[in-house]
Structure 1
Amino acid sequence: MIRIFRHYIPKPLLFLGILEWLLLLAAIWAGMTIRFSQIGMQDVAFTDYIPEVSAFVITVYVVMLATGMYQLEACRDFRVSLLRLVVSMFIALLTISVILYLFPDIGLWRSVVLYALSFSGLGLMVVRFIFLHVVDLRQFKKNVLVLGAGERASRVRNSGSGQGSHVRFSGFFSMTDQERDVEGAVPYESVGSLKDFVEKNHIQEIVVAIQERRGMLPMDDLLDCRMNGCAVTDSTSFIEQQSGTVNLESVNPSWMIFSDGFGGAKSLDLLIKRLFDISASLLLLTLSLPVLIMTAILVKTTSHGPVFYRQERVGLGGKTFEVMKFRSMAVNAEADGVPQWAKKNDARVTTIGKIIRTTRIDEIPQIFNVLKGDMSFVGPRPERPFFVEKLGETIPYYHERHRVKPGITGWAQLNYPYGASEEDSRKKLEYDLYYIKNYSVFLDFLILIQTVRVVLWPDGVR
């Protein structure tokens, strides 16, 4: 796992991204070479076309990020990769066409773009096919040794044992007779020298997953291994790296205090975030005006009640505000006055409501909340005060999600289906805590880009 701007990225995906970036460069170079040779242009200095080459590569790459090409599920399934590749190339063609129209000074011929996209599509298809068959080779896996065989060790094993995992567990050492959650664990006393075991098995990381550390940690052995270059990680940090979550069953206040992160965003980051929110809000409201008008007409003419739905939500610092959305449910959805979770195939949702929920159009009016400053484009989803009070009593650290502004989209929304129960809220909080802990403008950018994937392939929409 490689960390970039405080966000963990699997090493195989980083290698794949670099390789495909180079492939896009080769594709645009080949497209320009062929087209220029067709019209008799020889000995062209490609350094004169840096803006054109950059525009092509960056546009195609961002589109690939947006369509989910770098999700692990897409990399593991060639059919999913192929489908998303076709969509990516089509969207890239439309996007580049718009860019060339808006910026005519960019001298990128449409014929060159067609050549380059054709080469890109073929090359990416070959790269993905090869990657699918080599991603699980030994050189892509990190050898991990786990100290512990109890509940924490079991959670460590589960976090790193999924399909496409980039770690390989070389052993689990039980520290006491009571640790029996991991089958096949070896008693630590029978190992002999931990340093020798680490060197013999080429261990790259030791994960400490002991329930009670007092008097149980082999400090001298761990220090010896650490000084010899082997990384030593606690179980909570390891799970965070593997899953993109802060595991509530493992976390404790001392870990949150001493771990990196949770320090709040820097003033410059907050300024950039706010400037982006304002400028993007104005731009999106302008571009989406026809959709807003059409949706308003459809909502008003197909069901009784107001066009917009206002609801009290909890925001930054626990302060409440009114979120605005297109009304997608009947006006008497909560006639008894008791807040309810949205359900799958909820009978309260109108016919038009189903469409605008699936396409996320009902969320567009929240841009006014972003413009006002109650929300941001990226952040935890704001929840109703009734549920906040209820969940805060049963879920540890739930109120920590109010350390940042709520958002229209977020890390939890990308990685977990719509929360419709207390257990769902607990799982989504683990993603929210990861976002709060590792916040950066870079992570916001990744979330915004990948939100396009959620729109194209909706999962968990209710």
Structure 2
Amino acid sequence: MFKINNLYIPKISALIISIDFLLLVLAFFAGIHLRFAEGQGFTVSFFQDSFYEACIFIFTMIFSMAAMGMYLPETQRDFNTTLFRLMPSVALCFGLMTFIFYIFPETYLGRGALLIVMVLSFIEILIARTLLYKGISVDILRPRTLVLGTGKNANDLINQNGKLPAHHQPKIVGFIPFPGEERHVPATLVVTDKDSLMSLAGKYKAEEIIIAPQERRGGYFPIQELLECKMHGIRVMDIATFYERENGHIRMDSLYPSWFVFGGGFDQSLLRSTIKRIFDLLASLALLMITLPVMLIAALLILLEDGFPIFYRQERVGKSGETFMVLKFRSMRKNAEKDKKPQWAATNDPRITKVGNIIRKLRIDELPQIVNVLKNEMSFVGPRPERPYFVNMLNAQVPYYGVRHSVKPGITGWAQVRYPYGSSVEDAIEKLQYDLYYVKNHSLFLDAVILVLTVEVVLMGKGSR
């Protein structure tokens, strides 16, 4: 597992990106050779003449696959998952390449050449992914892991309830029991040896130890033995850090207050705040210029279907619990909340207009929030702002919910690209786990990753209601 600007990158994902890069290089030059070389060999001049076009195609294709979520751990499963994500990736790449050709005519390849290159890329990547997921063992990339604990927390580590494919899970070689702890893991995996942790790590060739006791207060805790293991190069982490690393969220039932106090992250420095503000302004102005025609059309359609008002202002909770009025295109009929009691939007909500249904699916209704970003009430990327009514309710029911208000809310966020639309307390808890991850690990790199993943949310209508 690599870590770039606080974002964990699984080794298997890095391997897949590297393989994709090589396959795209092969597909591009093979396709160009088939279309234009007319039997000539691969010469130095042949590669030099097409170098810039190759770079543009490879970058665009990798961007398209990343935007369609093909490098997320939960999507790296099988042939069908790869096929149904690769097809829109190729379509997106074709559209972007066409746009690039229009802006920069000197990079034009020709429709025939581009078609051959894209067909070859599609076939190569589909075959390679299938072989990697099914036909090739990737155990060498899975760390051998000892788990300290045999209770419910330890049992949850087994397959993580099927949320991730096998090659994204640690290879658990044994569970070491705490004295008096109730066993919830298979007896065959329990380590019965009474040796020291360092000896057990050597015996089982463990690369890491996960601390997953059911109860932390009082009793036995082998701090000196864990320190010895760490000094010998064995990774030692608690279960909360493990879920943060593997799942991209901070699991609520594994948290404890000292983890927030002594853990890393939560960067609120002046430098980080300045960089984020500059990023917000540049991204917002760019989005405004790109989407202005779309916003004008949306405003006209809202006016024709249901009249004024076109925009909808609603009170939301921002940074440090301060409220502000968020601006959105109106997607519901007038007086949608006659009794004045706030309510979550539901699937097939009858309050949503025909135009509203379209602009909500494509997230066009969120575009006026660019104004909130320019006014410094929101960021471009951050936890989605919630209404005070729901914030008060969730603060009373969900531990640490207020932590998400330590940063400015955003138009898009980590929870929005990793979890479907929420409409209940349970959904709010699930999304909070991703929000906490963002609050702890936010960086310019993570913001860029979220923007790339937002492309799929917009184009595929993911999680809309």
TM-score by length of 1: 0.91
Closer, same or farther: CA 343–90 of 1 in aligned 2, 3 Å: closer
Whether the 8 Å contact between 1:156 and 1:239 is mirrored in structure 2 is no
Distance 1:221 1:34 in 2: 62
What does 1:26-425 correspond to in 2, within 5 Å?
26-38=26-38, 43-45=43-45, 46-47=47-48, 49-106=50-107, 108=109, 110-134=111-135, 137-157=138-158, 159=160, 162-164=163-165, 165-184=168-187, 190-210=193-213, 211-212=215-216, 214-264=218-268, 267=271, 269-303=272-306, 305-425=308-428
Whether the 8 Å contact between 1:159 and 1:239 is mirrored in structure 2 is no
Match of 2:242, as an amino acid?
F
Whether the 8 Å contact between 2:456 and 2:462 is mirrored in structure 1 is no
Following superposition, the deviation at residue 11 of structure 1 comes to: 1.6
Following superposition, the deviation at residue 6 of structure 1 comes to: 1.2
Whether the 8 Å contact between 2:240 and 2:255 is mirrored in structure 1 is yes
Following superposition, the deviation at residue 113 of structure 1 comes to: 3.0
Distance 2:286 2:162 in 1: 44
Distance 1:451 1:60 in 2: 16
Secondary structure of the corresponding residue to residue 254 of structure 2: coil
Q: Deviations over 1:126-169 (max 9, x none)?
A: 11111221466422322211111224323444638644133122
Distance 1:138 1:43 in 2: 39
Following superposition, the deviation at residue 37 of structure 1 comes to: 1.9
Following superposition, the deviation at residue 310 of structure 1 comes to: 0.7
Closer, same or farther: CA 458–171 of 1 in aligned 2, 3 Å: farther
Match of 1:427, as an amino acid?
E
Following superposition, the deviation at residue 30 of structure 1 comes to: 2.2
Q: Deviations over 1:104-134 (max 9, x none)?
A: 3446555443332222112111111112214
Percent identity over the alignment is 43
Stretches of structure 2 lacking an aligned partner (at least 5 in a row): none
Closer, same or farther: CA 304–114 of 1 in aligned 2, 3 Å: closer
Match of 1:437, as an amino acid?
K
1:13 aligns with 2:16: no
Closer, same or farther: CA 153–105 of 1 in aligned 2, 3 Å: same
Q: Deviations over 1:48-71 (max 9, x none)?
A: 544322211111110111112223
Distance 2:71 2:323 in 1: 36
Q: Deviations over 1:20-62 (max 9, x none)?
A: 0121122222233344422969734334544322211111110
Distance 1:134 1:205 in 2: 27
Whether the 8 Å contact between 2:149 and 2:211 is mirrored in structure 1 is yes
Following superposition, the deviation at residue 73 of structure 1 comes to: 4.1
Match of 1:103, as an amino acid?
F
Following superposition, the deviation at residue 259 of structure 1 comes to: 1.5
More deviation, 211-220/377-386: 211-220
| Match in the other structure for 1:450 | 453
Distance 1:146 1:39 in 2: 59
Distance 1:42 1:383 in 2: 58
Distance 2:14 2:267 in 1: 27
Distance 2:361 2:135 in 1: 36
Closer, same or farther: CA 118–208 of 1 in aligned 2, 3 Å: same
Closer, same or farther: CA 229–141 of 1 in aligned 2, 3 Å: same
Closer, same or farther: CA 351–101 of 1 in aligned 2, 3 Å: closer
Secondary structure of the corresponding residue to residue 209 of structure 2: strand
Match of 1:177, as an amino acid?
G
Whether the 8 Å contact between 2:173 and 2:189 is mirrored in structure 1 is no
Following superposition, the deviation at residue 443 of structure 1 comes to: 0.9
Stretches of structure 1 lacking an aligned partner (at least 5 in a row): none
Distance 1:188 1:175 in 2: 11
Distance 2:74 2:175 in 1: 28
Whether the 8 Å contact between 2:159 and 2:169 is mirrored in structure 1 is no
More deviation, 187-196/368-377: 187-196
Distance 1:189 1:83 in 2: 46
Match of 1:172, as an amino acid?
F
Distance 2:189 2:160 in 1: 20
Whether the 8 Å contact between 1:313 and 1:383 is mirrored in structure 2 is yes
Whether the 8 Å contact between 2:326 and 2:369 is mirrored in structure 1 is yes
Measured on the aligned residues, the alpha-carbon RMSD in Å equals: 2.5
Following superposition, the deviation at residue 193 of structure 1 comes to: 4.0
Secondary structure of the corresponding residue to residue 309 of structure 1: strand
- Aligned length in residues: 461
Secondary structure of the corresponding residue to residue 232 of structure 1: strand
Following superposition, the deviation at residue 266 of structure 1 comes to: 5.9
Secondary structure of the corresponding residue to residue 312 of structure 2: strand
Distance 1:186 1:64 in 2: 38
Following superposition, the deviation at residue 222 of structure 1 comes to: 2.5
| Match in the other structure for 1:22 | 22
Whether the 8 Å contact between 2:174 and 2:190 is mirrored in structure 1 is no
